[in-house]
């Protein structure tokens, strides 16, 4: 009686591999648009947190240094459309920016624009609000997205009291957030959702 030896074969066949690759391609195709939408909203939320934290930082800097501190959303020749802002401490007390006052904040600014160190918003995030007729707490919606008593500048005094106003941030997906500052220096964030601020 002759014995036949059967070779033990393990692994995947080409057909099995093609099925797995096809299933993976379908899953990636389905999830890619959702991932991009998730990524857009997270960039916007990150910008909102950055602006709100910077406003709080300016308030604390004003209290700690016992002088006015400002966040400027249109430094020099820049405008809010440039999606850039900076913080400066009013060292000489004249309530206007002078050379060197940005350096006096001792903040490590990651970006620079128009000769000013500061913060640049993420790609696809900008100042502005297209859609809402009025802002949170009945505040106005400025054309450029920034309104602190008619200027693009929020300031805090040594007691932490601030310029009341709001800055709006808009993302690529049409999402809108607002960072509002009260006269007493309270900072709140809002989201435009279902035709109301939440």
Report strand pairing: 165-170 vs 176-181: antiparallel
In the CATH scheme, what is the code of domain 14-197?
3.55.40.10
Sign of CA dihedral 65, 66, 67, 73: positive
All structural domains of the chain with their residue ranges: 14-197
pLDDT at res. 124: 92
Taking the model in full, what pTM does it have? 0.82
Tens digit of each residue's pLDDT (9 = 90 or more) over 54-96: 999 999 999 999 999 999 999 989 999 999 999 999 999 898 8
CB atoms within 10 A of CB 186: 13
For residues 5 and 9, what is the distance between their CA atoms, to the nearest angstrom?
A: 12
Per the CB < 8 A criterion, the answer to whether 155 and 133 are in contact is: no
Q: Which residues contact 133 (CB under 8 A, 6 or more apart)?
A: 141
The pLDDT of 97-118, averaged and rounded, is 87
Token pair for residue 125?
């995030």
Tens digit of each residue's pLDDT (9 = 90 or more) over 19-35: 999 998 888 888 777 77
Distance in angstroms between the alpha carbons of the first and the last residue of the chain: 85
CB atoms within 10 A of CB 39: 13
């Amino acid at each position: 009686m002759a014995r036949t030896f059967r070779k033990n074969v393990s692994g995947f066949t080409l057909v099995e591999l093609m099925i797995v690759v096809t299933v993976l391609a379908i899953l990636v195709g389905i999830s890619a648009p959702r991932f991009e939408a998730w990524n857009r909203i997270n960039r916007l939320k990150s910008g909102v947190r950055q602006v709100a934290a910077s406003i709080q930082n300016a308030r604390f800097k004003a209290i700690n240094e016992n002088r006015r501190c400002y966040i400027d959303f249109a430094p020099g020749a820049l405008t809010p459309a440039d999606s850039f802002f900076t913080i400066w401490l009013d060292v000489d007390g004249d309530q206007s920016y002078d050379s060197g006052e940005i350096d006096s904040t001792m903040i490590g600014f990651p970006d620079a624009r128009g000769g000013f160190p500061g913060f640049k918003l993420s790609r696809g995030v900008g100042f502005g609000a297209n859609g809402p007729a009025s802002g949170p707490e009945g505040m106005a919606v400025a054309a450029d997205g920034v309104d602190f008593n008619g200027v693009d500048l929020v300031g805090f005094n040594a007691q932490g009291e601030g310029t009341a106003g709001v800055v709006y941030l808009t993302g690529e997906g049409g999402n809108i957030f607002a960072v509002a500052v009260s006269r007493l220096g309270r900072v709140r964030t809002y989201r435009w959702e279902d035709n109301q601020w939440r």
